[in-house]
Amino acid sequence: MLRREIEIRAGYLQGQSVSTIYFGGGTPSVLAVDEIKRILEEVYRNVDLLPDPEITLEANPDDLTDSYIRDLLESGVNRLSVGIQSFHDDELKALHRTHSASQAESAVKRAQDTGLENITIDLMYALPGTTPQRWEHSLQSAVNLHVPHISAYCLTIESGTYFGHLYRRKPGVFSEDSVAEQQYSRLCEVLGDVGYAHYEVSNFARPGMESRHNSSYWSGAHYLGIGPSAHSFDGESRQWNVSNNHVYIKAVAAGSAHFEREELSDADRFNELLITRLRTHTGLERNAIFQNKSDQYIETAASLLSDWHSRGLLDVRNDAVVLTEPGLLIADQLITQLMIE
């Protein structure tokens, strides 16, 4: 059905060339390499692909055998996103991960030895029972792997999830906001000291090794998502596929609507610009914030930016507003204050 949807929606990008392909969401590394090849072949047939595309596969460490990695390379996949999350076995167990810390390290080293060196790993902080020493260990273990890219995310507690149920029963086991802030600050310090550029709130890369795929989201590029729950954006609207596998398969097979669409208002597009661009190291041009806005908004926004600058939360570089490390720590809070209802 994925190949069929690619064929059906080939015109969505209106002839725009594509420079990245990303296998993500769920666990794409359970796919056989032959299945990945067939999906890529369908993309090549239906989409104008630029030379040397970045092709990323999200992978669980325990799926990355020597033969699987070699076959991935042969298929065209040239970047791995490995969901390590932690280098402590008890934390991995709490996260319901099936791999151990040693398996994660071995998987990354196998990929590097095989020649697939463009690797990003994911970490999580503010986990239940965490301590500064345990977080330091995970950070140092990540650094010791010498991968060119690291992403780190704060644990989010959502209702209906394992951690949501646990929080209702035992809220005391979770980290306070101050602990999350300390771990985030230490993350920035450690990775900065060894040469990683902090180019987006949660992302750090060696020079020239930023994720081309994710960077396209933050720059407002159009994208096409394929599969259940996948999201797409064409600059004027966003749409998302149904999440139910059975409904998705039936609808795609029949060639009928399998997604919902939301047309974006001027306010929506502006808010999306704030959300994406102010999370990055390049920031957002001042003119984009003030242009075509009411006098009241301009006055409020100017006051906010002046206050944040005086508090060390933002800099102005090349006439762009750029959040500092302390500002990135509370980026969502700051951005919300600039949004238009």
Q: How far apart are CA 218 and CA 208, in angstroms?
A: 17
Q: How far apart are CA 166 and CA 174, in angstroms?
A: 9
| pLDDT tens digits for range 184-196 | 999 999 999 999 9
pLDDT of residue 255: 85
* Cβ atoms 139, 190 nearer than 8 A: yes
Region of residue 284 (phi > 0: left; psi between -120 and 50: alpha; otherwise: beta): beta
Q: Given a cut of 70, is residue 136 above it in pLDDT?
A: yes
pLDDT band at 165 (very low <50, low <70, confident <90, very high): very low
Phi, psi of 147 (to 5 degrees): -80, 155
The mean pLDDT value of the chain amounts to 91
Three-class SS string for 91-144?
HHHHCCCCCCHHHHHHHHHHHHHHCCCCEEEEEEECCCCCCHHHHHHHHHHHHH
pLDDT band at 37 (very low <50, low <70, confident <90, very high): very high
| pLDDT tens digits for range 8-24 | 888 888 888 999 999 99
pLDDT band at 341 (very low <50, low <70, confident <90, very high): confident
* Amino acid (1-letter code) at residue 81: S
pLDDT of residue 158: 54
Average pLDDT over residues 284-298: 95
pLDDT of residue 257: 81
Please give the domain boundaries of the chain with CATH numbers for all domains.
17-217 (3.30.750.200), 265-341 (1.10.10)
* Cβ atoms 122, 152 nearer than 8 A: yes
pLDDT band at 171 (very low <50, low <70, confident <90, very high): low
| pLDDT tens digits for range 47-102 | 999 999 999 999 999 999 999 999 999 999 999 999 999 999 999 998 889 999 99
pLDDT of residue 11: 86
